[in-house]
Structure 1
Amino acid sequence: MTEHTESADRWPAPYASAPVDATVTVPGSKSVTNRGLVLAALSADPGWLRRPLRSRDTLLMAAALRALGAHIEEGVGPDGTGEFWRVIPTGLHGPATVDVGNAGTVMRFLPPVATLADGPVRFDGDPRSYERPLHGVIDGLRALGARIDDGRRGALPMTVQGSGSLDGGTVEIDASSSSQFVSALLLSGPRFNQGVEVRHTGATLPSVPHIRMTIEMLRRAGAKVDAPEDGGEPHVWRVTPGALLGRDLTVEPDLSNAQPFLAAALVTGGRVTIRDWPEHTVQPGDALREIFTEMGGSWVRDERGLTFTGGGRIQGIDVDLSDVGELTPGIAAVAALADGESVLRGVGHLRLHETDRLAALTREINGLGGDVTETDDGLRIRPRPLHGGDFHTYDDHRLATAGAVLGLAVEGVRVENIATTGKTLPGFPELWAGMLGEQQVGDERVEERA
């Protein structure tokens, strides 16, 4: 686990002295924004992304695509609201240098794109990015004919020797540590000479909904994709070669980043409305509705969005989070405040995320008086009275928001480096303060769904 920073930066997490009652506008989805940028840069004609997320991860993606030759214009709609990015593909070229920061989507989605550039593309990033697994992408691209110089580490830093094209074809990879390995090859697959057939050989496959998101967005851009859910072979995906079409895409709110606000309703016994919650979505964060209902709340979706109401007590949960691992830190924080034991399963791969999230959650919640133990594939959390103290984040945005959730119910929690939330949720402290200070006066309640 990456050691925490001994920094004087400690954010006093606000304590909720009363149930929250607020409406929150969550910025756009990082996962949709970064996939949309890649597909637009690979398209045959210009495309638009409306209401994109502007965060560290997405700005790194935009900067990387610009370095590879894409022209990305930024602007605001004619009514003064609604930011947009217009992506004009102008051909991919090198030499270029890509800074991935610690963004999994950048470090994994762009090496396949770089094989299509005419010249070498060097990839580098934050120190933690050197520790994150990349072997599935590197080995897969080599099998498809790419030249990659990585010192045989299977990790960053590395250089992709772009030749302007890639043969493509059938490739076997082990994506047990990240579904992004599959998405990375599929996103560029239409531009490979033979397309691509990706066969996952590992024993497990985390975050399958993110692969479904990739497939849906590919199809919207005109690609032909055969997937297991279409009746095909399990863990086999095929993308036919062909031109991608520029699209006008409006980015949904990031439902995973809605998690701390929904958790606030559950933890305080209050009510929070997330504006513009989509009726149909492939975002993994949509699972929060049912998970937090099982933990004691209720929800309703109407024309305003999704309203979640806490029930006054938090119940423990036994849940398999293998498809929605990114939600684990926030669920663990809520579980630490529950009145019964929780078991979070299927998330052993989180040891390889921005930090070792399982070790970090165990250390930090226990540091506040909790009782968390690691299992082979997750966490066991037993309720204990918690006390204030420092909650370290290890430069991990989801650890930071988990600390904020704990602070609602525990006085004196100080979250280290709350600014790390800017990775995917810019302005989080202001959004959090706004939620706690906002009262919805005269707002009629609607019938809730338990």
Structure 2
Amino acid sequence: MTGTESSPGADNALWPAPLAQGAVDATVTVPGSKSVTNRALVLASLASEPGWVRRPLRSRDTLLMADALRALGVGIEETVSSGSGADGPGEAWRVIPAGPHGPATVDVGNAGTVMRFLPPVAALADGPVRFDGDPRSHERPLHGVIDALRALGVRIDDEGRGCLPMTVHGSGAVAGGPVRIDASSSSQFVSALLLSAPRFNQGVEVRHVGSTLPSLPHIRMTVDMLRAAGAAVDTPESGGEPDVWRVAPSALLGRDLVVEPDLSNAAPFLAAALVTGGRVTIPDWPERTTQPGDELRRIFTDMGGSCELTDSGLVFTGTGRITGIDADLHEVGELTPVIAAVAALADSESVLRGIAHLRLHETDRLAALAKEINELGGDVTETEDGLRIRPRALHGGVFHTYEDHRLATAAAVLGLVVDGIRVENVATTGKTLPDFPGLWTSMLGAGETPAATATASRS
């Protein structure tokens, strides 16, 4: 299967994207961050004492992570708290750490965090751990993690592919020490080694030796969470060498962590305000965060909206005009699909740069966006490292998603103002955003959903 083909078992049902009947005016409660939830689960599983992950995201990627850790012997108990204050009420996962063990089998689905963060954990196990997943997972690069672990003395059988399926032969310990990797295709290679490094005998020194690293905010998120769990981390930002991260060996603390809303998943809802000239409020938007999605405030303001961080959350307002942008999205590439959809509706050309690495994500996102928007009458061309988008009048049609959740949400944004867009396999949004269709129609005042909350009133 290539990156722009659906697998034979894909759900090809077509979802009619709702057309907005006016300016959106809604409050949308976005579920928790996938990136924070999965990092928190890994750190809690390696801690020296039990911990809590409160308000976790329950989506395909996070449930795959939880199940994978359980397969390695970690206890994860799901509870619903009824307390008040910062930690409740809401769902919570109690994580009871245990030395990882094999033999075990891990299903990664198509979750980059699972396929990359868990091999170093498996290297600490006392037996073999086999990793496999969806067909597309076999095409996503893992060489950075595989090569690094081999350099640290870990035995891995991948038949020379540099990707799944593979088996990590854990020996119960990893010596650790200095390692050089090329993480230019995914910052997750760096995060993967850092997360387990406190448990390595010598910690780790990760030196990136390739071209510019993508998605640096995600590495900063990893570092912040490690430090909060008691790890000593030296980074380029803290006076260390450029492109070098050091983690000292130490015991990790069991934390009581409340997961932030997933700001990247807020993108289609903020875009709804922008393209309809309406207003959307996202409660609990943090004042300080390492999430790349926080850049939406700046990017969508540059495209014609305005925002204010209030006691109620982030209030974003569209003006009825959408302006094209020239933007380097290298550090926030996951936001590209929705930004591209908004750009296709703008009044001037947009150039999105620095995102060649998106060709290696859930699908080849650059090729998929160009093809699907152009099939609707658009004018999108691929560049060496991004997209050039010239606005054209769009028409209805089928928007294929290639089992990529962010392609589906981008299509929904276009459907707000382009009649007749039908989205193939909108259920793929369950990867990170449970019941997206219900939340989307609730935002438009067309229904309610128990899985997530949206309140709307027509302006």
Task: Verify same fold: TM over 0.5.
Answer: yes
Of 370, 387, 390, which aligns to 2:395?
387
1:273 and 2:281 correspond? yes
Residue of structure 1 equivalent to 2:137: 129
Matched, 1:39 2:59: no
1:328 to 316, 325, 336: 336
User: Within 1, Cα distance between the matches of 2:12 and 2:351?
Assistant: 34
| Cα distance between partner residues in 2 of 1:175 and 1:317 | 28
Which one of 181, 186, 203 corresponds to residue 173 of structure 1? 181
1:360 CA displacement = 0.2
Cα drift, residue 90 of structure 1: 2.0
User: What is the aligned partner in structure 1 of residue 231 from structure 2?
Assistant: 223
Q: CA deviation at 1:17?
A: 1.7
Cα distance 1:4–1:368, how it changes in 2: closer, same or farther (>3 A)? Answer: farther
Q: Does 1:107 align with 2:115?
A: yes
**RMSD of aligned Cα (Å):** 1.2
Map 1:133-282 onto structure 2 (within 5 A). 133-282=141-290
Alpha-carbon shift at residue 8 of structure 1 (Å): 4.7
Question: Does the CA-based 8 Å contact 1:372-1:380 persist in structure 2?
Answer: yes
Q: Distance in 2 between matches of 1:376 and 1:441?
A: 42
Contact 1:276 1:305 in 2 (8 A): yes
Could you tell me which runs of 5 or more consecutive residues in structure 2 were left unpaired when the two chains were aligned.
446-454
Taking the TM superposition and a 5 Å limit, the aligned residue runs for 1:82-121 are 82-121=90-129
Residue by residue over 1:310-347, the C-alpha shift from the partner in whole angstroms, topping out at 9 and shown as x without a partner, is 01110000000000000000000000000000000000
| Equivalent pair of 2:19/2:419 in contact (CA under 8 Å) | yes
Do residues 4 (structure 1) and 12 (structure 2) align?
Answer: no
Once structures 1 and 2 are overlaid, which stretch shifts more, 341-350 or 84-93? 84-93
- Specify the SS of the correspondent of 1:199: strand
Per-residue deviation, 1:441:
8.5
The residue type equivalent to 1:238 in the other structure is R
- Quote how far apart the aligned CAs of 1:440 are: 4.4
- Structure 1 contact 2–128 (Cα < 8 Å) conserved: no
8 A contact 1:140–1:171 mirrored in 2:
yes
Offset of residue 78 of structure 1 = 2.3
Deviation at 1:7, TM superposition (A): 5.8
User: In the alignment, which residue of structure 2 is the partner of 1:337?
Assistant: 345
Quick one: distance in 1 between partners of 2:12 and 2:311?
A: 44
Shift, 1:371, TM fit: 0.1
Pair 1:58-2:62 in alignment: yes
Distance between the aligned counterparts of 1:128 and 1:203, measured in 2?
25
TM-score by length of 2: 0.95
| 2:404 corresponding residue in structure 1 | 396
Superposition deviation, residue 4 in structure 1: 3.5
Partner of 1:447: none
Partner of 1:306: 314
Q: In 1, are the aligned partners of 2:23 and 2:458 still within 8 Å (CA)? A: no
Q: Which is worse superposed, 71-80 or 314-323?
A: 71-80
Residues 125 and 172 in structure 2, CA contact (< 8 A), matched pair in contact too: yes
TM-score, normalised by the number of residues in structure 1: 0.97
Find the residue that maps to 2:334 and give its secondary structure. Answer: helix
Q: Distance in 2 between matches of 1:216 and 1:3?
A: 37
Distance 2:11 2:65 in 1: 28
**Residue 21 of structure 1 corresponds to which residue in structure 2?**
25
Distance in 2 of aligned mates of 1:329 and 1:339: 18
| C-alpha separation in 2, matches of 1:441 and 1:403 | 22
Contact 1:23–1:440 (CA under 8 A) maintained in structure 2 = no
Aligned residue number for residue 368 of structure 2 = 360
The answer to whether the 8 A contact 2:328-2:352 is kept is yes
SS in 2 for 1:311: coil
| Corresponding residue for residue 72 of structure 2 | 68
1:201-239 Cα shifts (integer Å, max 9, x gaps) = 001100000000000000000000000000111000000
SS of aligned partner of 1:409: coil
Distance 1:4 1:62 in 2: 26
Q: What is the letter of the counterpart of residue 175 of structure 1?
A: A
Cα deviation for residue 439 of structure 1 reads: 3.5
Structure 1 consecutive aligned stretches of length 4 or more whose deviation exceeds 2 Å: 4-8, 78-81, 438-442
Secondary structure of 2:264's counterpart equals coil
CA distance in 2, matches of 1:349, 1:2: 15
Relative distance call for 1:418 and 1:409 in structure 2 (3 A) is same
Q: CA deviation at 1:81?
A: 3.4
State whether residues 25 and 458 of structure 2, in contact with CA within 8 Å, keep that contact through their aligned partners in structure 1. no
Q: Output one character per residue of 1:151-200: Cα deviation in whole Å (capped at 9) or x when no partner.
A: 01100000000000000000000000000000000000000000000000
Q: What amino acid maps onto 1:65 in structure 2? A: L
One-letter amino acid of the structure 2 residue matched with residue 118 of structure 1: D
Q: How many pairs does the alignment contain?
A: 442
Instruction: State the 1:427 CA deviation.
Output: 1.1
The offset of 1:91, in angstroms, is 1.7
Asked if the contact 2:155–2:170 (Cα under 8 Å) also holds between the matched residues in 1, the reply is yes
Where does residue 372 of structure 1 map in the other structure? 380
Provide the C-alpha distance between the structure 2 equivalents of 1:159 and 1:43, rounded to a whole number of angstroms.
24
Gaps of 5+ in 1: 443-450
- Counterpart for residue 445 of structure 1: none
* Corresponding residue SS for 1:66: helix
Secondary structure class of the residue paired with 1:94: coil
